[in-house]
Amino acid sequence: MADLDQLLRSDIAAAAADAARVPDFSPLERRGTRQRRVRSTGTAVVAAAIVVVIAATATQFVREDRGATPVTPTTPTPTTPSMPVNLTAEQIVDDPRSRAASIVIAPEDPRIRAVVWRLCLDDRCRRHREAVAVTDDGFRTRSTLVANAFPLYVGGGVFALQGRLGPPLLLHPDGHIVEVTGLQSEPGPPELPGEVIVSYGSGVLRWVAADPTTGRGHPVTVPENLRILRLSPGGRLAGETLGEGSYTWSDNSGATWSSTPLDNDPGLLVFAASRESEPIAVLEGGDGATLFPLGFVHRSTDGGQTFERLRLFDDPMAYGQNAGVLPDGRLLLNIEGWSDDEPGGEHARPIGLHVSNGNDWTDLRPVDGAAPYAEAQPDVVATKDGLLIVYGQEGKASTDGGQTWQDFKLR
Amino acid sequence: MTDTDAVHEAFEASYRRLVGQLYAVCGDLTEAEEVVAEAFARAVQHRRRFEQTDNPEAWLRTVAVNVSRTRHRRRLLGSRLERTEVRHPEIGDDRLALVTALRQLPAAQREAIALHYLADLPVHEVAAATGAPVGTVKARLSRGRQALALLLNDNNPEEARRG
């Protein structure tokens, strides 16, 4: 039996797509048209029935009113007010019921932020509306837009809107959107200073370097299997890849790339947030049995040239994925649960933010002061000022490793 | 350009890919084809809404996932939707075992695993397709992987002894 990770990374979906029998479109179109007609007719019938029922009920009330029996007042049944569907971006962002679905903060200037606010339209949130709030002054001012896409900070003060088809779009903090052009030319390295690198497409990603102001771009060559590019405060691009475990980076905006293989076995890798001046941490997801078991951490103190592999947890195993390196070199990570937690019961030991005992990253202890937010998952961002820990729903952030918390505006 | 062109264009561009993505959700290639076809029929039915969406493929994926849920529920209630013959693409025994194990997971975990790992969708797209918060999707992925590993080992005693 192949390893679970290998199986999950295999080409099952592609094989199914290849084997799919493609039906004629015309019968589907007719079916959809017929369903629309049936629905319209049904709606008309229901509306007519409602009119009849209302008329009958009204007649009945009239008759009762005419009788001598006094009517006992009844307590109205409380109902949930219906949620309007056509909401503006402002309404979605400002609704107190909306939740921060994604928080993106520019590493070089934490005042540049984009937050996706999600407002659920039913109890299980199967229907929801989303809007993006974006700012470059910490939400003293802002722009909002309804967008079925997630922003990703790509540098130059702009965000790429991810998760949509078509050409990539760049979102500026003043709310205007620039479409990237020039996607058909030959791939090459970035050509001009200030270009940002953006991925687009669903499934198979394509990469383009573009001028954030004009959107003028061109395809760009990146390391094979690159899935995510992370920008650090000093401008380093660090890439997470599928397949082989490695730390891949570029210090010249993608002109050239370096890569150091990591000795993982064959766990998944998640990059922790850190600045170039601090040790680099890459979390390794242990034995492949779960997504984010905090089995090992790979630490580099020479900018990614070499790594040492350290065991974090084994038995019991801790689970989590949000992590970063504090300015003093300590490892900070958020533990979401333990392997010996009772399902639906109390946690076997403390969860929430933990920090290493100095440079000994294998000795992790709970952070005092983070307890009020232990059940939530924080966003951990390396900024030019140090490590920023943000609890979006609570609107709180810490810049001292979770010791103290301040208000942090996200809309 | 007619009203249905947007749907037809999406059909040409996305039908196969969507079937590939829904195959592991459904555990049956024919079922995946039918739920994706139904998603396109509903795109025609709600063409104005479909044309206004920013991401047509994501819209279709969400509808297809919802259709698969509805059909699964009706099947549990004894509907005639039950299939006697399950169809799979040409994949090896290991992959087939994985798809079979996926069918034993709770629906929410199966959807998350299938869409994220096998269909290669980012977590936020899985969240959009399944109507769940990103954190919930991550939790489902974590628990689903754990359950999958156990299921696959249960079906393979030799691996279980080594594991």
- Whether the ω angle into residue A378 lies within 30 degrees of 0, i.e. cis, is no
* Mean pLDDT per 10-residue interval, chain A, length 411 residues: 75 90 87 67 46 37 32 37 70 92 91 92 78 94 86 92 79 92 82 84 78 91 82 88 78 88 72 88 65 83 93 85 92 87 75 93 86 74 92 88 91 93
How many Å apart are CA B5 and CA A74, to the nearest integer?
Answer: 54
The predicted pLDDT at position B83 comes to: 52
Structural contact between residues A282 and A259, judged by C-beta atoms closer than 8 angstroms: no
How many Å apart are CA A284 and CA A262, to the nearest integer?
Answer: 10
The predicted pLDDT at position A228 comes to: 80
pTM above 0.80, yes or no: no
The predicted pLDDT at position A54 comes to: 38
Instruction: Extract the tokens encoding A17.
Output: 């797509």
The predicted pLDDT at position A84 comes to: 56
Strand, coil or helix: what is A82? coil
Mutation target vs A (from B51, B117, B121; most A CBs, 10 A cutoff): B117
Listed by number, the residues of chain B in 126-155 with a beta carbon closer than 8 Å to a beta carbon of chain A are 127-128, 131-135, 138-139, 141-143, 145-146, 148-150, 152
Structural contact between residues B6 and B47, judged by C-beta atoms closer than 8 angstroms: yes
Q: Quick: pLDDT tens for B7-36.
A: 998 999 999 999 999 998 998 899 899 999
**What is the per-residue burial (b if ≥16 Cβ within 10 Å, else e) of A190-216?**
beeeebbbbbbebeebebbbbbbeebb
The predicted pLDDT at position A371 comes to: 54
Contact B44 A36 (CB under 8 A): yes
Contact A1 B94 (CB under 8 A): yes
Q: Tokens 């996200």 appear where?
A: A410
CB of A24 less than 8 A from some CB of B: no
CA of A304 vs chain B CAs: smallest distance (Å): 26
Query: Where would I find the H helices in A20-122?
Result: 25-66, 89-94
Closest CA relative to residue B129, chosen from B141, B103, B109, B111: B111
pLDDT at residue B78 greater than cutoff 50: yes
Measured distance between the N- and C-terminal CA atoms of chain A, rounded to whole angstroms: 50
Instruction: Determine the residue of chain B that is closest to A166 in CA distance.
Output: B55
Closest CA relative to residue A370, chosen from A328, A409, A411, A320: A320
Q: What is the SS3 string spanning B51-85?
A: HHCCCHHHHHHHHHHHHHHHHHHHHHCCCCCCCCC
Structural contact between residues B82 and B71, judged by C-beta atoms closer than 8 angstroms: no
> Using CB atoms within 10 A of its CB, is residue A186 exposed (0-12), middle (13-18) or buried (19+)?
exposed
- Rounded to the nearest integer, the mean pLDDT of chain B is 80
Contact A15 B56 (CB under 8 A): no
Instruction: Determine the residue of chain A that is closest to B53 in CA distance.
Output: A148
The predicted pLDDT at position A299 comes to: 95
ipTM confidence score: 0.85
Mutation target vs A (from B125, B154, B159; most A CBs, 10 A cutoff): B125
Closest CA relative to residue A160, chosen from A187, A190, A199: A199
* Count of C-beta atoms within a 10 Å radius of residue B20: 27
Bridge partner list, A209: A197, A218
Closest CA relative to residue A271, chosen from A298, A293, A253, A295: A298
The predicted pLDDT at position A29 comes to: 84
Strands (DSSP E) along A234-326, which ranges? Answer: 237-241, 246-250, 258-261, 269-271, 280-284, 296-300, 308-311, 318-319, 323-325
Taking CB atoms and an 8 Å cutoff, what residues of chain A touch B148?
Answer: 4
Pairs of residues, one from chain A and one from chain B, whose beta carbons lie less than 8 Å apart? 181
Structural contact between residues A142 and A119, judged by C-beta atoms closer than 8 angstroms: no
Measure CB to CB from residue A7 to each of B4, B98, B150 and give the nearest one. Answer: B98
> Using CB atoms within 10 A of its CB, is residue B32 exposed (0-12), middle (13-18) or buried (19+)?
buried
Contact B118 A12 (CB under 8 A): yes
Strand, coil or helix: what is A217? strand
Instruction: Extract the tokens encoding A166.
Output: 């078509």
Average pLDDT over residues B109-132: 84
Instruction: Determine the residue of chain A that is closest to B142 in CA distance.
Output: A291
How many Å apart are CA A61 and CA A38, to the nearest integer?
Answer: 34
Strand, coil or helix: what is A228? strand
CB of A25 less than 8 A from some CB of B: yes
Close Cβ partners of A26 (under 8 Å, ≥ 6 residues apart): none
Structural contact between residues A216 and A249, judged by C-beta atoms closer than 8 angstroms: no
Give CA separation, B146 vs A95, B38, B126, in Å.
37, 32, 19
CB of B53 less than 8 A from some CB of A: yes
Q: What is the DSSP string of B11-24?
A: HHHHHHHHHHHHHH
The predicted pLDDT at position A80 comes to: 42
Structural contact between residues A149 and A102, judged by C-beta atoms closer than 8 angstroms: no
The predicted pLDDT at position A121 comes to: 84
